[in-house]
Structure 1
Amino acid sequence: MSKTILITGASKGFGKVWTEAFLQEGYKVVAAARNIETLNDLVSKYGDAILPLSLDVNDRDAAFSAVKKAHQHFGKIDVLINNAGYALFGAIEEANEQEARDQFQTNFFGALWMTQAVLPIMREQKSGHIIQTSSILGLITLPFLGLYNASKFALEGFSETLAAEVKDFGIHVTLVEPNGYASDIWKNETHSKGIAAYDGIKKAFSESGTTGSFGTIEATSQALLKLIAATNPPLRLFLGKVALPFVKHHYEQRLAVWEEWAEVSELAHGN
């Protein structure tokens, strides 16, 4: 069955790879990005099957306008993939106000605006699938990615709530949880101005190997195609060999500590 997919952040990384995979599968794709010139190769190859849209997801009005154009052009939107995002590197203390606000504007509010814009269309259709490109760092954390971690934790919270609110309308929600991948988000990272006191800790962390092995972006395409084709998609889908074991390890540690303090927790309940 042919589907129409609207994806943000389509100009590079996961977005570009997934966009081409969808087109190869015969889907119609609305590819939204700040720089749509990078999509010229796909337009030349796939013609009318792709609609490039210039979009800054930080602009709520622009997000609603893009969804309206997409719907008018193809007549429906079966899948929304909120993929636009970037990572701010640095210690919590190092981030300035604008850097913190910008991180949330793109990673959280951009996804929120696009989701709000598409929901009336999907409710009217009585069907739809909203896919959020999150991260395992929306479930566990790593040092020096605190604002990125926080933006993905926020995305997780609103998306899990959304799933409960819209299931009776025939709308599914999935959080895609990649482990590390050799993508542009890490090649073109944004860094806060450093504070010398953290230099030693940063060096030790970078040499610890905590981040594990990176996956290959192109290898994720089949997983996304299976996800989109599923009649009962999961709320969360991990991508990569590292993701699930890494999160399980951290949650086992959390549960052990919570159980250790369970008696204190129960005392706090009262009679």
Structure 2
Amino acid sequence: MVTLRTVGTDEDIEQWRQVKLTLLPGERVPSVAEIRSMNRPDRLMILAEIDGVVAGHGIAARSDLAGRASIAPRVLPGFRRRGVGTALLRALVDHVGGLGYPAVAALVDEPESAGFAVRFGFVEVDRQVEQVRAVGVEPAPLPHPGFEIVSIADRPELWPQAYHQVAVEAVQDMAVTSPMQVSLDEWERDWINAPEATFVAVVDGAVIGLASLMLDEDAPDRAEQGFTACLRSWRGRGVASTLKRQTLWWAAEHGIREIYTWTQRGNDDMRRLNEHLGFTYGQVSVTFQSSLPLSV
């Protein structure tokens, strides 16, 4: 029999993390402390068990894209086709439906999960592709005559400025299916985990671009390329490429052997820049969406 319970203790959170680490070994999973800091009233994290053994987990929360919630029911391989996925899906959909969301979305990374989503009425709405870069001997980027690069560790006051001066404009241009909704609180809490590996380009005290690495305590020799953006008026002038080279150099200096990033379908400029910097292609992740209420 499948039983579900809400994640509450640090031990619960670690069990939840281990499910995701098992199923998505190449993806960074936030630490227990990070997950705790992300808690908010609309967020639900659950564990599924069979005979007291963890069989899967789920999460439901407001999406960063307006007008929908995000869910992720995941089942460990040895427990599939035993009703675990359906029980998780039902609980997550009931939660977000009760909050009044008109639609729900989920990322799908394998054919079996895609088939499960389609059976319950989900349809594909977007795709993201992974790009991967091996880190070798990386030269420090040459100083640019038009701007200065500084780390947030050295200038922490620039991170909220980066939100107001760059991010608010840049997220409007992202190749997504509905508008991004990121508050300053979320920016300061969720969009940075290593100030020393987060860099901004500055002109006359104003931030014009940013790039970062998200470090991984479970795989310290790998890092995810965080949000990279620059002002529209500075695009095509070497800001993003210089910032990305800065993160590559920092990675090499700190024992990181591989960097990966995800780009949405339609973000051709960033894909081309990554290709130019030596990134190669990896996995594909598909976004499936359904209106609510969902028939489960």
Q: TM-score, normalised by structure 1?
A: 0.28
The structure, 1 or 2, with the larger RCO (C-alpha pairs under 8 Å, 6+ apart) is: 2
Higher relative helix content:
1
Q: TM-score, normalised by structure 2?
A: 0.26
Higher relative strand content:
2
